[in-house]
């Protein structure tokens, strides 16, 4: 009887875990509302290619973003602090020689500590939406920006010649 009770308890949890798509992100809060375990779906994320206008235009080979985005996605439980905004931006990851990289910007009026994996998840959304194929068959990624519902955003763009990210 204990096995049936345990199975009855676990099966709804297991069903949710199995249904969860790998492209979803588990949120801790949205707009200050505690939503521990809530799921943010790709459809809920606004991604703009060619934005923002105050960052340099860039169009890098897709492979140039492999290292910075992979570094973030492999960040485990490490966090990056971004001071209070609005529009307070910080390099999150980049190649050692500069070029293609990832910024994270905080539009909240208080500082935030963001998981590197969450930043990487949003960077992946930009990468996927802003990737295009050139006539020579190579994939490139145009600069772009993805917005988190909790008032921070991620930008894929040119970080210049100096990578200052601490990741």
Under 8 Å CB-to-CB from 20, ≥6 apart: which residues?
39
Q: Rounded to two decimals, what is the model's pTM?
A: 0.73
Specify the pairing of strand 88-94 against strand 152-158. unpaired
Look at the block and give the residue holding tokens 């295009």: 132
pLDDT tens across 72-120, in order?
999 999 999 999 989 999 999 998 888 999 999 999 999 999 999 999 9
Q: Answer whether the bond into residue 86 is a cis peptide, omega within 30°.
A: yes
The full 3-state SS of the chain, as one line of letters, equals CHHHHHHHHHHHHHHHHHHCCCCCEEEEEECCEEEEEEEECHHHCEEEECCCCCCCCCEEEHHHHHHHHHHHHCCCCCEEEECCCCCEEEEEEECCCCCEEEEEEECCCCCEEEEHHHHHHHHHHHHHHHEEECCCCCEEEECEEEEECCCEEEEEEECCCCCCCCC
Q: What is the pLDDT at residue 57?
A: 81
Give the CA angle between residues 54, 59, 65 to the nearest 5°: 100
Q: What is the pLDDT at residue 166?
A: 64
Tokens at 80, concatenated: 């990056």
Residues 68, 101: contact at Cβ < 8 Å? yes
pLDDT tens across 20-71, in order?
344 454 444 444 444 444 455 656 789 999 988 888 788 899 999 999 999 9
């Amino acid at each position: 009887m204990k096995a049936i009770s345990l199975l009855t308890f676990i099966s709804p949890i297991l069903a949710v875990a199995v249904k969860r798509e790998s492209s979803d992100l588990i949120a801790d809060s949205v707009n200050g509302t505690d939503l521990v375990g809530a799921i943010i779906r790709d459809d809920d994320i606004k991604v703009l290619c060619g934005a923002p206008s105050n960052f340099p235009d860039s169009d890098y080979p897709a492979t140039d973003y492999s290292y910075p985005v992979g570094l973030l996605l492999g960040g485990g439980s490490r966090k990056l602090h971004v001071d209070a905004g609005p529009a307070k931006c910080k390099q999150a990851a980049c190649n050692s020689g500069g070029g293609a990289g990832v910024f994270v910007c905080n539009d909240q009026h208080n500082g935030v500590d963001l998981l590197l994996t969450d930043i990487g998840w949003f960077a992946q959304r930009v990468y996927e939406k802003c990737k295009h194929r050139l006539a020579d068959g190579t994939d490139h990624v145009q600069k772009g920006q993805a917005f988190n519902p909790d008032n921070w955003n991620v930008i894929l763009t040119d970080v210049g010649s100096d990578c200052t990210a601490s990741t």
